[in-house]
């Protein structure tokens, strides 16, 4: 077997030594940059946080004021921020020589989801945070669902939970008596569908399991027809499913939950 020429040994050894030297240079440059005082984070800009405090955002991202801006792994900081239910989108960047910028898009809670414990939930069905004890939050309460109804990450919602999300989208775009801001409670019955409660004259309305956009349009028409004709006091609309009739009855008493107990 022929021996490898000496010049090849020298080239191979030179390549190894060159690689080692280059790696040492990178390490040296990294140490110089990450320890240089001129690159200390003197300015940290946090934007888009309405519910989370500035300090909570920095803690989530792992950013320490006064630390070196090049010591912050931007991708890792962004991923850490996205673990919070409050944060829908996040960007983390640096401006040389001394500034870090964190820009957030927060989720807005639209209902309180009652699963034995109450949770704030966004329009997309994402659980944001648990409602703290003693909170005076006045978002509408959703009842009738279970933990098993919630969609797992990456899965499409189905059943009563999917019906709830469809209802919320319609109610959010409506300015009538059943607009999202006027609802006090949404009960999702597994067989009968949605029953919504308001603090207004339309005290209770049965909406079923679907076609919410059409039912909202029919309800707006019916409300105009009932003006001056329906009995005084609060009303309970029992049936919006039929194309030819709408069943209405007065709500007995003043207790907004009485209709629920009788139905």
Mean pLDDT value across the chain = 79
Question: In this predicted model, what pLDDT tens digit does every residue of 125-179 receive, in sequence order?
Answer: 889 999 987 777 789 999 999 888 887 666 777 789 999 999 999 999 888 888 8
What's residue 253's pLDDT? 54
* Closest C-alpha to 180, from 100, 126, 123: 123
Q: Find the angle CA(148)-CA(174)-CA(222) to the nearest 5 degrees.
A: 105
d(CA 13, CA 84): 51
User: What residue has token string 């401006």?
Assistant: 95
The rounded Cα 57 to chain-centroid distance in angstroms is 16
pLDDT for residue 123 is more than 70: yes
Question: In this predicted model, what pLDDT tens digit does every residue of 31-66 receive, in sequence order?
Answer: 444 555 667 888 999 999 999 999 999 999 999 988
d(CA 129, CA 121): 8
pTM: 0.71
pLDDT for residue 119 is more than 90: yes
The total of other beta-carbon atoms located within 10 Å of residue 102's CB is 24
Give, rounded to a whole angstrom, the gap between the first and last alpha carbons of the chain. Answer: 96
User: What residue has token string 């704030």?
Assistant: 120
């Amino acid at each position: 077997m022929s021996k490898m020429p000496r010049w090849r040994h020298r080239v191979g050894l030179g390549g190894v030594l060159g690689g080692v030297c280059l790696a040492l240079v990178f390490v040296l440059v990294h140490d110089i940059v990450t320890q240089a005082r001129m690159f200390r984070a003197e300015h940290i800009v946090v934007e888009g946080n309405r519910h989370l405090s500035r300090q909570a955002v920095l803690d989530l991202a792992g950013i320490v004021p006064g630390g070196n801006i090049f010591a912050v792994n931007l991708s890792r900081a962004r991923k850490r921020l996205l673990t919070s239910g409050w944060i829908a989108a996040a960007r983390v960047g640096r401006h040389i020589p001394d500034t870090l910028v964190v820009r957030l898009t927060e989720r807005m809670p639209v209902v309180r989801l009652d699963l034995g414990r109450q949770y704030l939930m966004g329009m997309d069905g994402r659980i944001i945070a648990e409602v703290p004890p003693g909170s005076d939050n006045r978002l509408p309460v959703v009842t009738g669902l279970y933990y098993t109804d919630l969609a797992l990450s990456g899965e499409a919602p189905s059943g009563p939970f999917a019906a709830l999300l469809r209802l919320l989208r319609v109610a959010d775009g409506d300015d009538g008596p059943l607009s999202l801001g006027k609802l006090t409670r949404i009960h999702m019955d597994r067989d009968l569908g949605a029953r919504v409660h308001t603090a207004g004259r339309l005290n209770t309305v049965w909406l079923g399991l679907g076609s919410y956009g059409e039912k909202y349009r029919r309800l707006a028409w019916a409300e105009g027809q009932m003006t001056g004709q329906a009995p005084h006091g609060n009303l309970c609309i029992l049936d919006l499913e039929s194309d030819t009739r709408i069943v209405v009855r007065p709500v007995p008493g003043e207790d907004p939950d009485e209709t629920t107990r009788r139905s």
